[in-house]
Amino acid sequence: DQQVKQNSPSLSVQEGRISILNCDYTNSMFDYFLWYKKYPAEGPTFLISISSIKDKNEDGRFTVFLNKSAKHLSLHIVPSQPGDSAVYFCAASAMSRDDKIIFGKGTRLHILP
Amino acid sequence: DGGITQSPKYLFRKEGQNVTLSCEQNLNHDAMYWYRQDPGQGLRLIYYSQIVNDFQKGDIAEGYSVSREKKESFPLTVTSAQKNPTAFYLCASSMGPSNQPQHFGDGTRLSIL
């Protein structure tokens, strides 16, 4: 049973436009959410996170929005750049439980010239 | 320059053999993790360790073993009992609590000859 779902396996966005990657979760105990970026043959790198006490966190071109009632979060990248082409993983954890972070299956983002 | 080192980057194993994947970190992190990534799949947790000389099974521990004799090192052994070992293996570490982002190595790709 997938607790963290990224329903879009891939997404193509024109360079300079906004990229929106979506993530849904089912476990109401999750209170900390992260986004990772992964290039081929490399390990994921941490991008941005958000605690459940917030509904928005911004870092440069990257903004994560959290909608707790809908159990949904999204990552916005604006403007999109060629180097943003990668696989993006959504992840979630429950601080009150243990150290396990649950990852989604990832969304491959293609930035088109 | 702190980070996580996984070696080797590519590894080949004959059927029936055990093989050990190395993971070393100099980030002074307490927690370490092993994940497996298959095509189209997210990161699945194999084993994790929150402290030296202690580790717990993740979601897919069967056919794998680990040790944590030193804080810096968390080797993973893929045993002959693992029926489908061909995958990309990722090691990660974090400061400890589940709200800390994990730092990943660049992975080891294991293939069966």
Q: Determine the pLDDT at residue A62.
A: 98
Q: Determine the pLDDT at residue B99.
A: 61
List the Cα angle A30/A31/A36 in 5-degree steps: 85
Q: Indicate the SS3 state at residue B25.
A: strand
List the Cα angle A51/A104/B22 in 5-degree steps: 100
Indicate the residue type of B10. Answer: Y
How far CA B110 is from CA of A40, A71, B40, in Å, comes to 15, 36, 17
Characterize the bridge pairing of strands A56-59 and A107-112.
unpaired
Given a cut of 80, whether residue B100 has pLDDT beyond it is no
A111 interface with B at CB cutoff 8 Å: no
Instruction: Residue B101: list chain A partners with CB under 8 A.
Output: 34, 46, 49
Q: Determine the pLDDT at residue B112.
A: 86
Q: Indicate the SS3 state at residue B6.
A: strand
Given a cut of 90, whether residue B13 has pLDDT beyond it is no
pLDDT digits (tens, 9 = 90+) for A73-87: 999 999 999 999 999
Interface of B with A in 10-69 (CB under 8 A): 31, 35, 40-45, 48, 50, 58
Identify which of A85, A90, A84, A83 has the alpha carbon closest to the alpha carbon of residue A105.
A90
Mean pLDDT of A19-34: 95
Tokens 């944590």 sit at which residue?
Answer: B68
Give me chain B's average pLDDT, please. 91
Q: How confident is the model at residue B83 (pLDDT cuts 50, 70, 90)?
A: confident
Instruction: Residue A94: list chain B partners with CB under 8 A.
Output: 98
**CA distance linking residue B41 with residue A62, whole number of Å:** 24
Instruction: Residue B31: list chain A partners with CB under 8 A.
Output: 99
Mean pLDDT of A67-77: 97
Across the interface, of A32, A49, A105, the residue whose CB is closest to B41 is: A105
Given a cut of 90, whether residue B15 has pLDDT beyond it is no
Instruction: Please give, rounded to a whole number of angstroms, the shortest distance from the CA of A38 to a CA of chain B.
Output: 10
The per-residue DSSP string of A58-108 comes to EETTEEEEEETTTTEEEEEESS--GGG-EEEEEEEE-TTT-SPPEE---EE
Mean pLDDT of A28-46: 93
8 A C-beta contact, residue B88 and residue B70: no
B87 interface with A at CB cutoff 8 Å: no
Is B62 exposed, middle or buried (CB count within 10 Å of its CB: 0-12, 13-18, 19+)? exposed
> How much of chain A exceeds pLDDT 90, in percent?
85
